[in-house]
Structure 1
């Protein structure tokens, strides 16, 4: 079974992330989904409950929309609280050692905008170095992110295009989890 840490501040209005989660729920892959915005609307994270969820799973997927070249605030706060000293790092902090760390996120803009000559000037992966370092520091196996570009209605994408892309993203995520033995 895999753990999905879902961090979307307006999940009820989401098109892409909601479709991805629905596809995962209806897939042959066994997942536990923890919607941290729903669980902790006041940002008062139950650290022990989240650590126990991490300990139950070999693969941890972080599912979220790519916000301002990073993650939503609650997910950053979640990492700050849950990946604590002597749990995720430190002389006795090896509880996550060997677990898979898989970022999975949606990006409003096109993939072509995330190039040196594109509107964003950098590839998405360049904005993920902090994730890779977090995995490395906590002795986890970092898996390159699975990204879904073109998820914004305001950028001109249609609902049908977004839903179709989200289903394809979910399939890629399921394939990766099955490949990892989940």
Structure 2
């Protein structure tokens, strides 16, 4: 099974959780990690054909990112705007992602209590809707709350456990 991880973080260099999670994903022999800000700094032009080919070749697609203002980082939005095109991801001939398993993994700075109720439903909504619109098999959201290193000394351990939980879930598919 080939797993493609699309990772986006506007401040990856200072992200404690993001680095740990990526290290766990990169250690998996069948996981390919695409760090968008590293490959396309400052939202540089995206190699659409290459990114679409990577998606086509994958069995499982994981989007991992921090939540910024109840949404994904700008780099991930830019990626989706460019790569998930009509005729590829949706539309009468846009079936290239149909049936692929999709997992949404994300971190937040604030704790779980902040996202209780409606706010917690909002966080995965856009990507869940996008996956459904493209015919992907949405496998669920994997949130990791409270990852602000200034207030949480357990970020590395929690991030590692989170990534291992996602890997274990992927292996169960």
Shorter-chain TM-score bucket reads over 0.9
- Structure 1 residues 65-98: Cα deviation after superposition (integer angstroms, max 9, x where no partner): 1111010001011111100000000100000000
- Structure 1 residues 139-178: Cα deviation after superposition (integer angstroms, max 9, x where no partner): 0001211111110024x111xx000100110111101110
Partner in structure 1 of residue 90 of structure 2: 89
1:157 aligns with 2:152: yes
In structure 2, C-alpha distance between the alignment counterparts of 1:96 and 1:5, rounded to whole Å: 14
Partner in structure 1 of residue 22 of structure 2: 21
Partner in structure 1 of residue 36 of structure 2: 36
Moved over 6 A (4+): none
For residues 31-180 of structure 1, the aligned pairs below 5 Å read 31-43=31-43, 44-116=45-117, 122-154=118-150, 156-158=151-153, 161-180=154-173
Provide TM-score, normalisation by structure 2: 0.94
In structure 1, C-alpha distance between the alignment counterparts of 2:120 and 2:30, rounded to whole Å: 28
Quick check: 2:102–2:131 contact (8 Å CA) kept in 1? Answer: yes
Provide TM-score, normalisation by structure 1: 0.89
When residues 145 and 91 of structure 1 are mapped into structure 2, their CA distance, relative to the original with a 3 A threshold, is same
Aligned length: 171
Q: Which runs of 5+ in 1 are unaligned?
A: 117-121
Quick check: 2:109–2:148 contact (8 Å CA) kept in 1? Answer: yes
In structure 2, C-alpha distance between the alignment counterparts of 1:57 and 1:67, rounded to whole Å: 27
